[in-house]
Copies of this chain bind each other. A is one copy, B any other.
Amino acid sequence: MATREKSGCPINLSLELLGDRWTLLIIRDMIFAGKRHFREFLQSDEGISSRTLAERLQTLQDEGILTRGDDPTHALKAIYRLTEAGIDLLPVLATLGAWGSKHRKAEDKLARIADELAAGGEPALERMKTALRTEHIG
């Protein structure tokens, strides 16, 4: 991104990387839908364009939120995985989801997931983070 930093406030630093319409949706797809491939991200309901997706994936890679590797089974497939910094975004997505579920009219099923995760507090978040880490062996 290389935008010179506008302030040292931690919220601002987070927003300089994550504060746009798409970045957190990509992370959401990796965490909650288990998506790993370019095409899978393209097929999300919100309809990101391939250009924007490619740019965001590159930035997230540059900033250490995810890694890009080759799929061992399909030589043509790139595979994206979250780093520890990426997995640490789970609480951000959980609070954002809980807020959306409470204050915007969300889909019932998805809202329940968000509510349960947020209501489970720290332990629920930690359990899910552990699951995300071990998955990365595959």
Chain A interfacial positions (CB closer than 8 Å to B): 6-22, 24-25, 28, 44-47, 64, 85, 88-89, 91-107, 110-111, 114, 121-122
* A104-B19 contact given A92-B96, A98-B91, A121-B121, CB 8 Å threshold: no
Nearest chain B CB to A99's CB is how many angstroms away? 5
* A111-B20 contact given A89-B99, A99-B88, CB 8 Å threshold: no
**With A and B bound together, what is the CA distance between A92 and B91 in angstroms?**
9
Nearest chain B CB to A128's CB is how many angstroms away? 14
Which B residues lie within 8 Å of A19 (CB)? 19-22, 24
User: What copy number does this chain have within its complex?
Assistant: 2
Q: Is the contact region of chain A dominated by helix, strand, or loop, or is it mixed?
A: helix
Closest-by-CB residue of B relative to A3 is B21
Q: Are B92 and A14 in contact (CB under 8 A)?
A: no
Which B residues lie within 8 Å of A15 (CB)? 21, 24-25, 96
Q: List 19 A-B contacts (CB under 8 A).
A: A6-B45, A6-B47, A7-B45, A8-B106, A9-B97, A10-B97, A10-B110, A11-B100, A12-B25, A12-B100, A13-B105, A14-B96, A15-B21, A18-B96, A19-B21, A91-B98, A92-B92, A92-B96, A92-B99
